[in-house]
Amino acid sequence: MKLLFKQRAFSWFDSYDVYDEAGNSVFTVKGQLSWGKCLKIFDADDKEVATIRQRLFSWFPTFEVYIGEDCVGSVRKEFSFFTPRFTIDYMGWDVEGDWFEWDYSIYDPSGNCKAVISKELFNWTDTYSIDVRDRSDALPALALVIAIDAEKEQRN
């Protein structure tokens, strides 16, 4: 399953639209006014399905991921010199990417690739292509991409 994750050009808070290969809207991501960054993911029926919330007062940027009402884990930026590294404490996933953080892959504990993310260049806003191997991993992979993007924005 391939998803196209596009940031909206003009919005007060971070807002994104997520489309499938056919151009159908699959998810919408809306930023919320709060202390720290808070992004909510809505499905095509406008039902809230996930939330990414920044944990305040942590040494490195940390974003908690909620699927529905349940906190399924967090994404934390780790100290590294060249390659971006993140600790993901849910689903046992690991992220490996290039030093621009534009292209990276998500792996499960046994080393199987769960998703490949690449940034599409020469677009007006941030646009990512998310190639998910299993449809059931689409929402957790999207939440991870949003958390990483939120951390990148936090640094800039």
* Residue-wise pLDDT tens digits, 2-52: 998 887 655 455 788 899 989 999 999 998 766 778 999 999 999 999 999
Between 152 and 55, whose confidence is greater? 55
Residue pair 106/144 in contact (Cβ under 8 Å)? The answer is yes
Helix segments in the chain, DSSP class H? 138-155
Q: Given its phi and psi angles, is residue 43 left (phi above 0), alpha (psi -120 to 50 degrees) or beta?
A: beta
Q: What is the pLDDT of residues 121-140, one digit of tens each?
A: 776 667 889 999 999 999 99
Q: Model pTM?
A: 0.83
Domains of the chain and CATH, by start: 2-155 (2.40.160.200)
